[in-house]
Amino acid sequence: NRTGRVFSLIFKAKKIVLPVSQRTRFQKPFGKLWPVGMDELVKLGELVKLEFNQPTPLTITVGDIVTQAFIKLNLPISLSIIDFRSQRQPIKQNFHKNLLKNFSYINKARNQPGTLTLALIEKLHALMLKIIFTRQKQVLEVSGEEDLAVLPVVLLAPLASLVFYGQPNQGVVKIRVTEKVKEKTYQLLQRFK
The pLDDT tens digits for 13-64 are 888 999 999 888 888 899 999 999 777 888 999 999 999 999 999 999 999 9
For 71-82, the pLDDT digits (tens) are 889 899 999 999
Core vs surface per residue 95-118: b (16+ CB within 10 A) or e: bbeebbeeeeeebebebeebbbbe
State residue 134 phi and psi, 5-degree precision: -115, -15
Distance of CA 108 to the CA centre of its chain: 15
The pLDDT of residue 16 is 93
Query: pTM, whole model, 2 decimals?
Result: 0.93
How confident is the model at residue 8, as a pLDDT? 87
pLDDT tens track for 91-110: 876 777 777 776 767 899 99
pLDDT at 99: 73
Is the Cβ–Cβ distance between 133 and 30 less than 8 Å? no
pLDDT of residue 23: 86
pLDDT above 70 coverage of the chain, percent: 98
* pLDDT computed for residue 137 by the predictor: 92
At 119, which helix (H) or strand (E)? Answer: helix 118-134
| Residue 104: per-residue pLDDT | 64
What pLDDT sits at residue 26? 82
Of all residues in the chain, the percent with pLDDT exceeding 90 is 64
